[in-house]
Amino acid sequence: MQPHSTTAAPALDAGRPITRIVMPSIDGMLHDRTTTLGVRLAEAWGCDVELVHVTPSIASVDPVLDHLAEQAQSVHPDLKVQATHLYGDDPAAAVADHVGAGALVVMATEHIDAWRVKDSVAEKLLDRIGGPVLLIGPNVNISRIREVGLHGEVVLGVDGSAAAEAGVAPALALAKAVGYRLWLARVVPDPEPGDPFHPEIASRLQTLAEEGSHEIATRWEVLQDNDPVDALEALAQRRDAAVLVVSRRRRTSSDRPSMASISAGLVATSARPVLVLSAPDVPAVEAG
């Protein structure tokens, strides 16, 4: 996606195209990384822009946010930009309740953690919201975002569950909008001596890739690593991917690393934005 290019907005929200980019102001701040990427996507996809401020005072406003909206509108006159002030004590809950169909939340986060909740707004939002969230972690290169936005290959992490595979369709849509290839990646532990080989894993990935290849070039890879976060980021680095995608259900008490904990780990460590999709209610059945 080159600067000022225009393409159809991808269908990331249960088959619905994105029509609005929502950028929350957290702790009175709208991070520069958030606005840089959010505005670029809105321009590229022809979406409206909504800057959201959550305040515990019903009478409060945010003059800074209003100024940012006015400034963005003046710099990008073709965009529709608005500032919305929400009342509430919990920013994540207020934003999740406000965001409707067809919206993509874009926000930067500094505090999301890989394997345990640190009470970050981003983590709370992911556990509440039913739509897609594009998170920009602390290691994302803002200079690259300014230069090319999202342009390159897309890597989707799957773990064999139906919930994770629900992300294939929106990942394909995103790949069509920002790049030219989608990678389906399954991480399996390093084998111990005597461990059986599981050909059904490769077979399932091959099937998913073949089903998606009529829309865009789709490849797959099985990664042997005991750390799925490191493995997915390493693949994204090798492919110079624009974005990582994960589809997750809400965090559970299981000791097994789920796509919920993996998504948080990727956001905390990755050098590229991470699109987190909320999986629909599907049976938690292993696909291989």
| Residue 63, pLDDT above cutoff 50 | yes
| Residue 265, pLDDT above cutoff 70 | yes
| Residue 285, pLDDT above cutoff 70 | no
Domains and CATH numbers, the chain: 11-144 (3.40.50.12370), 152-278 (3.40.50.620)
Written as six digits, the tokens of 273 are 């934005």
Count of positions (residues) in the chain:
288
Arithmetic mean of pLDDT, 137-155: 88
Residue 244: strand pairing partners: 155, 274
Q: Note the pLDDT of residue 114.
A: 46
Specify the higher pLDDT residue, 125 or 30: 125
Written as six digits, the tokens of 117 are 């909740």
Cβ contact 41:21 at 8 Å: yes
Question: What pTM value is reported for the model?
Answer: 0.89
| Chain-centre distance for alpha carbon 41 | 13
Over residues 148-185, the pLDDT tens digits come to 778 899 999 998 888 889 999 999 999 999 988 999 99
> What CA–CA distances, in Å, run from 67 to 57, 61, 87, 119, 176?
20, 11, 19, 29, 34
Residue 119: burial class (beta carbons within 10 Å; 0-12, 13-18, 19+):
exposed
Arithmetic mean of pLDDT, 187-214: 86
Specify the higher pLDDT residue, 91 or 118: 91
| Residue 4, pLDDT above cutoff 60 | no
Q: Note the pLDDT of residue 60.
A: 66
Written as six digits, the tokens of 208 are 């998913």
Written as six digits, the tokens of 224 are 């042997």
d(CA 35, CA 233): 24
Cβ contact 257:229 at 8 Å: no
